[in-house]
Amino acid sequence: MIFGLRPRHPYGPSLDHIIALIDGGHPTAPWNLQPMHLGCNSKKEAARRRMQSKPAPRPSTKLSSLRRR
């Protein structure tokens, strides 16, 4: 980590929650924290949000399987 950078710099320091708070991770437990660049931490959070927002696959029904034939 590079310390002394201006606030919110992509290579500036930040703390990452290994288990996200929304997934039940503890906010201050040392075992759940790791140092990470702010830019990397932001990318990790964006990827987690994209994974959560993907729609679930539609269940197969008898009618839809008949249409495919």
In the 3-class helix/strand/coil scheme, how is 2-69 assigned residue by residue?
A: CCCCCCCCCCCEEEEECCCHHHCCCCCCHHHEEEEEHHHHHHHHHHHHHHHHCCCCCCCCHHHHHHCC
pLDDT at residue 68 greater than cutoff 70: no
What would the two tokens of residue 11 be? 């290579």
Q: What average pLDDT does the structure give for the chain?
A: 83
pLDDT at residue 65 greater than cutoff 90: no
pLDDT at residue 35 in the model = 94
Confidence at 57, pLDDT banded by 50, 70, 90: confident
pLDDT at residue 33 in the model = 96
Confidence at 31, pLDDT banded by 50, 70, 90: very high
